[in-house]
Every structure is written in C-alpha cells, then in structure tokens.
Structure 1
C-alpha cells in the first residue's frame, strides 16, 4: 500500500464517484438535449430531467451528510482520547478553542508533532490545511470514509 501523505490522503468510493454519479450526469445531459430536440414530448423530458437532478442531489447529499457527520464525531472523540493520553487532562477547554478543520488535521501528526502543531493552532490560529502541510512525518489514516 502506498504511503499516505497530504497529496494522496483523499478517498473515493468508485461505484459512487465513477459509475453512479457520471451515469446520472449523462442522463441529465440527455434529458436536457431531448428537451430542446423533442418538442412533441418536451414536458416529459423536463420532468425526466427534474427527477434525474433530484436523484443526483439526493445521492450526493445523503451519502455525504451521514458519513461525514459520523466521521466528524469520531474525529472529535479520537482527539479527546489522544489529548488525554498525551497530557493526562480533559480536552474540553482546548477543543472549544479549535476549529474542526484544525482538529481533523492534527490527527495526521504523530505525538511529538501533535504537541507542536496543537500549540501553533491554539496560539497562532493556523488553519487545518496549513497544519497538514506542516506535518513532517505523516500518520496515515486508511479507515476514513
């Protein structure tokens, strides 16, 4: 398995991203084409295009909403546990000062860099993306959604 880093840490679900969504896009394009080229059945093609658009929208929103919502909760719990293991303290006050993007980025750093980057996030308010780019020794996460 390839070593994970900033450039390759995003993940795709091939049936969804490379089959289902492109198929819906093609159907949407076909429906729009037929709207302008089949005047006899124009209303049917408008309804077809609306239904395809709604399926496309629903497919993206439902999948993302539930998966990311759950993943975000797990990332926060992981942060709390890791903070406790490193510092022996509850993380409630620290967590309130951080944006979620910062918490999510910190999970890719090993403990020594975690401390340093956490300090920068709290005192210099560096962004989650900047935290990721600052990581020298990337701690891979191969279990993301």
Structure 2
C-alpha cells in the first residue's frame, strides 16, 4: 500500500473506535447519575473522569515516544546525508515540522528543511510540499 498526504492519517481501531467511545459513554452516564443524586454519586463521576483521562494519557505517552524516535531518526538521516549534526537546524524547527519532514525522500529532505525554516512552514504545508512520499507504516 502506498502512502501519501491524503492517506497517511491512521486510526488505531481499538483506541479510536472502542475505548474512546466507551469512555465517553461512561462519562456521560456518570454525569447523569451525579445530577440525579449529587450527594451519593460523585464517586461515579470521578470514575468517569478517570476513564477519560486514562484514555487520553495513554495516547499522549505513545505519541510523545514516537516523536522522540522520529527526532532521533531525523538526526541520523540528516547526518548521513550531510556529515553534519542536525542540532543547528533542529533548534530552528518544532517537533511537528520535524515529524512532517520525516515523510520526505532523501532527495527532497535537505531543501525542504531549509524552506521550512526560511518560510516557517506548518507541518501541513511541509507534507503537501513532498513529491516523493516516504510512508511510515509503523506509527500508531
């Protein structure tokens, strides 16, 4: 399967279509219970809030870890292409830009890095600028 700007967004079915909807359902249900009997059912509301927070914190941890790995990948790619550390350029980019640059081919990467810095391109603009898309099939 080829990947491009239009098809690179991925859904983790267990998280997006089962856990999150169930957590929101539980939260809404606990709000209703609490509104009916606020004195005794406040504990249900805390459980509902806890499930929502757990659902999001797990996703945040996974994404942050992947961002760190992508940053390391980009450091290695940049060094392999230039024999110069990525540090100077990396300090001028935010993590969303670095993640977007990850999809560029080696031929496009260096000019696109410079353009992203010079024009302060958003991650969306960077992704739309890529002609030879390098798919990431492992990102959750």
Instruction: State the match for 1:8 in structure 2.
Output: 7
Q: How much has 1:84 moved relative to structure 2?
A: 1.0
Provide TM-score, normalisation by structure 2: 0.88
For residues 100-133 of structure 1, the C-alpha deviation after alignment (integer angstroms, 9 at most, x for no partner) is 1111111101011112211201222212221011
Is the counterpart of residue 49 in structure 1 residue 45 in structure 2? yes
Are the counterparts in 1 of residues 33 and 44 from structure 2 also a CA contact under 8 Å?
no
**Structure 1 Cα separation of the partners of residues 44 and 105 of structure 2:** 51
Q: 2:137 aligns with which of 115, 129, 142?
A: 142
Q: Where does 1:1-145 land on structure 2 (aligned, <5 Å)?
A: 1=1, 3-36=2-35, 38-39=36-37, 42-61=38-57, 63-145=58-140
Give aligned pairs, total: 140
Let me know the Cα RMSD of the aligned residues.
1.7
Structure 2 residue runs of 5 or longer lacking an equivalent are none
Q: CA deviation at 1:24?
A: 1.8
Counterparts of 1:69 and 1:109, CA distance in 2 = 21
Cα deviation for residue 8 of structure 1 reads 2.3
Q: 1:44 to 1:20 in 2, by over 3 A?
A: farther
Distance in 2 of aligned mates of 1:69 and 1:26: 27
